[in-house]
Amino acid sequence: MPRIYLCFVWHMHQPCYKDLVSGEYRLPWTRMHALKDYYGMVKILEEFPHIHQTFNLVPSLLMQIEEYASGRAVDPFLRVALKPAEELSEQEIRFILQYFFQANPTHLIGRYPRYAELFDAWRAADRNFRRAMHVFNAQALRDLQVLSQLAWFEEEFLAGDSEVRSLVEKSREYSKEDQGLIGRKQLQILGRVLPVYHDFAATGQIEISTTPFYHPILPLICDSNVAHEANPFVPLPSRFRYPQDARLHLERAMEYVEAKVGIRPVGLWPSEGSVSDEALTIAAECGYQWAATDNGVLARTLGRGADPTTTYRPYRWRKNGKEVAMIFRDHYLSDLVGFVYSKMHAGDAAADFIHRIRENCAPILSSGRDALVPVILDGENAWEHYYLNGRPFLRDLYQRISEASDMEAVTVSEALEKVEDDPLDHIAAGSWISANFDVWIGFEEDNKAWEMLLQAREAFEQVAPGSVPESDYKLALEELLIAEGSDWCWWYGPHHDSDNRQEFDQLYRDHLANMYRALRLTPPSDLSRPILRARAKALHQAPVCPIHPVIDGEVSSYFEWMGAGNYRVDRRGSAMHGHRFLVKELYYGADAGCLFVRIDFLDNEDLAGMEVQVRVNSQHMRLALSEARAEVLEGSALGVQAAYRRALEFSVPFAKLNLDGRETACLEISVWQGGLPMDSLPQEGCLEIRMARESEWVE
């Protein structure tokens, strides 16, 4: 009987945060995710021996984990976390307050009441250092030092390690000894990461694949002009063409992973799923036997849509005597895991995932063919948005797959042995994002970064290997290869935002400057100036006067919402890309008796059949949208009035909102389709809306 072969590929990656000259790690994310995701995602499979998976390990990640595990990593974030609070300088306290709340406010910070209390205090001080110091005495700082680290620990240690559990149970009033314990436990956990991959790979339960060493966009390193093949209208910088660098990234990756994990990888997840015929040719010549990308690339390659009948099968790319087996990720299913299921109950999400797979595979199985279902996504970034780090969801999902008679979770190589492939005589150049390279090239900031990289690459070419000491020449090459990585341009341009964008910009320019210095060259003056341009944040404007809108969904008068509060959604992504945004902006305000809310959507044509769920404090409302109306499914007893045409407008009497005399309400909005949460405002936590007292209104 035909079967469903489910291929999970978890991509494990962090850029090189280390300044190779100073030796310091500029950002802590390799360490933080190693405490939680890189170990736990593999270890959980011990409970499910029939679940086989593929883990894609980027060498730049392994290199950093190994240095952390040995205790050799110089990490100023960890150093200041472990320093006695009484001995902290003002600069170090500022550093702690700036960086130690960079965690999911609901599932990492909110899980620990004292951490949430400190976060609320920091926000109440408007993130102003002087105001915050009225609250953050030595004990408060020490509690923050400990909890900001503990929040990133893997569930296994939070529940099963008696010393770690004692820190959780203590909850506050931590001591210097507790700080020391949190440091020792981190080293223990970090030391277990690489061995867990080695051990599971040795049993065959997991397959290890890899990515070019420092995660470059391989086709652009081969020839940046290939971006025009994917998007003819993108403005390009001067041509960067160094296929020899692409080959070096590929060869070194294979050798490094074999040295550290004990198995030579035959599979390749090209950075960001970026492929081209030239890149695949070099990969084949290096010995890679399979590669993966997105079914958006498959659609462009085939010249037609990539539905399950085309996506759920392997292919064999052949060109000029070279060949590589190919699989193409189910973009929609992968994004459900990455962005949607975190907002659902674990069991409901797992059941929905299995149902969708069976539904998609039914026509394939009925035709007598096996189905290969590739689900490929980051193995770390999604989980902090899930309850308990996503472990309940994964356990439920893996249990359902283990008990299923019609499907089997296999590694990519196992799947390729079981399912017959189809031929491909070429591959469309593109990445997993929109089947093009627009995230990394074409915008002003991106192109400036590429010009700097090209200038540095040409300077490197002019220096003969023997003209500087060998160690310095190797350092220069390493810095250059790091600068070729994709992560720097991920944060340039308009697509993504992060509190650490400035640090990424500085580190990119420092890597290039270090290359020049290692070669005894003067770095260009441009490297001293930021590439980043000023960027506006999401706008939140408080109400300034009472409003009296008519709830008709029409915005019938320009003046009816004048003076209302406004929240304009920031649609840039973060370390994860692919969230679907539906909400454009929100208006809110009040008169003496009612709260009024208006939601403007990006595209009203796609909203019929969707449901908007609204929570104000403890009160919950559900509104169903049709082409010309909004139906109150839940909330009629609250006196909710709603209408939908050009916008969704609704009102609810204050008397029904249980404000208990408070002037601030907590507003959460989510948009659902087919039982799945598709968008939310805000993305995490709630929007605090302050209703001014009558005496404060500006008339």
Instruction: Please calculate the CA angle 488-492-493 and round it to the nearest 5 degrees.
Output: 150
Backbone angles phi, psi at 261, to 5 degrees: -110, -20
Element (H, E) at 569: none
Domain spanning 539-696: which CATH class is it, in words? mainly beta
Angstrom distance (rounded) from CA 369 to CA 420:
9
* 697, pLDDT greater than 50: no
Return the SS3 of 210. Answer: strand
* 574, pLDDT greater than 60: no
Question: In the chain, where are the structural domains located?
Answer: 1-69+189-435, 444-528, 539-696
- pLDDT, residue 670, reads 83
> For 119-141, what is each residue's pLDDT tens digit?
999 999 989 999 999 999 999 99
Angstrom distance (rounded) from CA 349 to CA 382:
14
Helices (H), 462-571: 470-483, 487-491, 501-518
Closest CA to 578 of 360, 382, 313: 382
Tokens of 238: 């001067």
Q: Which long-range contacts (CB under 8 A, 24 or more apart) does 634-643 make?
A: 641/551, 642/551, 643/551, 643/552, 643/553, 643/554
Element (H, E) at 318: strand 315-319
- pLDDT, residue 439, reads 94
In the chain, what percentage of residues exceed pLDDT 90?
Answer: 74
- pLDDT, residue 685, reads 67
Element (H, E) at 679: strand 676-681
- With a CB cutoff of 8 Å and minimum separation 6, the contacts of 399 are 48
* For range 601-622, the mean pLDDT: 80
* 696, pLDDT greater than 80: no
Q: What is the pTM of this model?
A: 0.84
Identify the residue whose tokens are 């308990």: 388
The reply to whether domains 1-69+189-435 and 444-528 share a CATH topology is: no
Angstrom distance (rounded) from CA 596 to CA 31:
45
Give Dmax (Cα) for the chain. Answer: 82
> For 191-237, what is each residue's pLDDT tens digit?
999 999 999 999 999 999 999 999 999 999 999 999 999 999 999 99
Q: Are 508 and 488 in contact (CB under 8 A)?
A: yes
Q: What is the DSSP letter of 536?
A: P
Give 677 or 269, the one with higher predicted confidence.
269
Tokens of 620: 């919950």
Angstrom distance (rounded) from CA 159 to CA 147:
16
* For range 547-574, the mean pLDDT: 79
CATH topology of domain 1-69+189-435: 7-stranded beta/alpha barrel (3.20.110)
> For 245-301, what is each residue's pLDDT tens digit?
999 999 999 999 999 999 999 999 999 999 999 999 999 999 999 999 999 999 999
* 23, pLDDT greater than 50: yes
Backbone angles phi, psi at 20, to 5 degrees: -65, -20
Q: Read off the pLDDT band of 556 (50, 70, 90).
A: confident
Tokens of 382: 């999604």
Neighbours of 361 (CB within 10 A): 25
Give the residues across from 620 on adjacent strands: 615
Closest CA to 9 of 376, 497, 555: 376
Q: What CATH number does domain 444-528 carry, 3.30.110, 1.10.760, 1.20.1430, 3.40.1000? A: 1.20.1430
- With a CB cutoff of 8 Å and minimum separation 6, the contacts of 205 are 45, 49, 51, 52, 53
Q: How far lies 56's CA from each of 65, 190, 274, in Å?
A: 15, 18, 15
Identify the residue whose tokens are 């899980």: 111
Question: In the chain, what is the straight-line distance between the N-terminal and C-terminal CA atoms, in Å?
Answer: 74
Closest CA to 492 of 568, 414, 440, 558: 440
